[in-house]
Structure 1
């Protein structure tokens, strides 16, 4: 089914935005929106993904007495009887998924094997879109555990195209760069210049990119690399041919058609599901080090732990980059968390804060904002910096130099731990 109106404008879309915030901060539905959602849930023509996402967010949040009246649409006491609830809203769900579905509705956490089985269904071609959205919404609102991420990761890996199997033909250690695929709306990306930095340090750089699942749609790394005229990676066998400047770029569409199919679903579900995190830590090229970012500081350690679960030996996680990107903020409390797993299996973590005296020369009072930044302009700045070491934009130059200094500090520490 296709939505004829923007996903955020439907009654259920507005309801999802209101209650799908997370386990800390979700608010009750106001009476007028509750009434509109009741009508939409009773309408068989409302989008199944939005129905599932709404029900999942509501149950994970915990319905208020007023919101609990919505269970009348399913059957008396439906919220208290998960098996009955699932059979009513997902009548086509295979029997093997019923225990997992009821566990999610009850608020339970999945074991690795259960999450793996759920992932196989989520990435598959079966029909029950209501359940896909329900499961993604529940996981997102109550926050996914590392065991759940590991199971989903294993399922996602089974969807990789044949060219991204168990082998890597790279003649040097690889660094994988991955920031949120929804990109930015008020700033420029510096990702290719970071890739060039790691290449100069003797690594091969692989940038993971993909279409935006939202909520931002203005400019992302895929748009930037397309405007740079890059050649996209189609197989790990291509890693034996070193590329100059910014290394290789891997589009999610080439990596996994199953993951790529979720982009449209994510746009309809509205809230960022587990894939917004998972797609950044997948390691299809068998890289040694992951360089990634989070906006919410509470997720910084989570990203580091997931990177090590995904097989990386080291990880650099930037906090509070501009709009969550790999470009550090020069006015806010930015910084990196580094983590390694040594050859003996020991784990070590280290923070480097962007407001330390060593980085004082890069600090600014405010951030320069750009209205509707264009990929063509971003590509021009990247090319200019690569060729001349500076651009006509002093703010852009300062941010690149700050990023180089910050990531250099993190990489030096990681290399010291892995020796």
Structure 2
């Protein structure tokens, strides 16, 4: 087995992989490296066979966190004073990086936020747009993604990265939409779930019954979960996958259309493999859910961390959606609301006059009391076949053999329905 395939198979078991997990937590949670792990990381940084993405991700997390006095000794693997001189650091760590990228790279290393135009330039590089083979630097890709993740990306940076991502869309997903009715795009984390079942296809059908066309954005899991995701489920249901926006003039009665990231953008799909090596979820875990290639009117998405709920709504409006429904604390971050924890939705609208309005609907409100439970049912290692069976049963009979699953669907329909009523009243 080559060193590269080893890293692809077990990225979390390498010294730098364990280091990334330890220090790449975020700007409010990172911890110093234990002495023994620090020494292992030192050896890995000196090893020419170390995967460049992990090298960059580790160093990026370390810089964004701020190295301790003991961790400062790691600069000996790069050059004396490297952590204090951004340009010197970049030249030593990323020698292949083209000169035109140096201003953006040094700005990131110094801890500064990027302007939208700079973020788009960075995005072009990350996605390989116009990059010559001799200018290709995987270490920098890991470095940049890690720095932004630890310190958190700004909306302006997301705007630039979004524009770059749009430049990678396949020709079929251009500026023209052939949809004959308003579209709702459903998008939850592409890494899916490990202890619960998804209800996304039923939600797509729910929005179709409300007069919308439903598009579910799916893709391969970049981790950390790999058990079951919406792509697996839609494949088991035999749903129709979009190949271009020209297919949106076809009326679909049940689950709507499914948009696989692989068909939308080969460049984004390539990043799935990088993300598995990087371990920590980079900007794409958020960005891929808010892209709007089908020109949908409403985005229905989810966040697990409450602090990201408003950010997701803002990014949705930035991406061209007229409105968004953002679920907080769904089951494992999915679009299925929790029945025992503080779940709820944030609705956002940009009116025809350009005014912005936001409204919260909490899941523990009295109107939803009948759906609340003391605990959540756990389904260890859920399988797409079983999930698809529950979906089909519910669609055929209005219920399934799983009472918890049914209750969660009823709760979701009531909660999203309330949000949709408010959005429609604002858009009139």
Q: Normalising TM by the smaller chain, what interval? A: over 0.9
CA separation in 2, counterparts of 1:151 and 1:2?
33
**Corresponding residue to 2:196 among 178, 187, 197:** 187
Aligned to 2:144: 135
Q: Deviations over 1:149-183 (max 9, x none)?
A: 00000000000000000000000000000000000
* Runs of 4+ deviating beyond 2 Å: 1-5
**Corresponding residue to 1:269 among 263, 272, 278:** 278
| 1:75 is the counterpart of 2:79 | yes
Alignment check: 8 A CA contact 1:3 1:47 kept: no
Deviation at 1:231, TM superposition (A): 1.7
Deviation at 1:3, TM superposition (A): 3.0
**Corresponding residue to 2:392 among 369, 383, 390:** 383
Alignment check: 8 A CA contact 1:317 1:336 kept: yes
**Corresponding residue to 2:117 among 102, 113, 137:** 113
CA separation in 2, counterparts of 1:100 and 1:287?
33
CA separation in 1, counterparts of 2:46 and 2:6?
17
Q: Deviations over 1:10-67 (max 9, x none)?
A: 0000000000000001000000000000000000001000000000000000000000
- The two structures, once aligned, show a CA RMSD in angstroms of 0.7
Describe the SS at the equivalent of 1:360.
helix
Describe the SS at the equivalent of 1:147.
helix
| 1:206 is the counterpart of 2:215 | yes
**Corresponding residue to 1:31 among 9, 31, 35:** 35
Describe the SS at the equivalent of 1:3.
helix
CA separation in 1, counterparts of 2:422 and 2:232?
32
| 1:229 is the counterpart of 2:238 | yes
**Corresponding residue to 2:294 among 269, 279, 285:** 285
Q: Deviations over 1:75-114 (max 9, x none)?
A: 1111010000000000000000000000000000000000
TM-score (norm: length of structure 1): 0.99
Describe the SS at the equivalent of 1:2.
helix
| 1:63 is the counterpart of 2:72 | no
CA separation in 1, counterparts of 2:170 and 2:251?
22
Deviation at 1:2, TM superposition (A): 3.0
Deviation at 1:226, TM superposition (A): 0.4
CA separation in 1, counterparts of 2:239 and 2:247?
14
| 1:45 is the counterpart of 2:49 | yes
**Corresponding residue to 2:405 among 371, 385, 396:** 396
Q: How does 1:293-308 map to 2 (within 5 A)?
A: 293-308=302-317
Describe the SS at the equivalent of 2:248.
helix
CA separation in 2, counterparts of 1:239 and 1:74?
53
Aligned to 2:253: 244
CA separation in 1, counterparts of 2:240 and 2:215?
12
Describe the SS at the equivalent of 1:149.
helix
| 1:255 is the counterpart of 2:264 | yes
Aligned to 2:6: 3
**Corresponding residue to 2:155 among 128, 139, 146:** 146
| 1:358 is the counterpart of 2:367 | yes
**Corresponding residue to 1:84 among 88, 92, 109:** 88
Deviation at 1:293, TM superposition (A): 0.1
Q: Deviations over 1:168-199 (max 9, x none)?
A: 00000000000000000000000000000000
CA separation in 1, counterparts of 2:79 and 2:98?
21
**Corresponding residue to 1:312 among 321, 327, 350:** 321
Aligned to 2:22: 18
- Structure 1 gaps of 5+ residues are none
Describe the SS at the equivalent of 2:5.
coil
CA separation in 2, counterparts of 1:235 and 1:311?
18
Alignment check: 8 A CA contact 1:185 1:373 kept: yes
Alignment check: 8 A CA contact 2:239 2:255 kept: no
Alignment check: 8 A CA contact 1:169 1:239 kept: yes
Deviation at 1:244, TM superposition (A): 1.2
Deviation at 1:115, TM superposition (A): 0.2
Describe the SS at the equivalent of 1:229.
coil
- Structure 2 gaps of 5+ residues are none
Number of equivalenced pairs:
419
CA separation in 1, counterparts of 2:426 and 2:142?
42
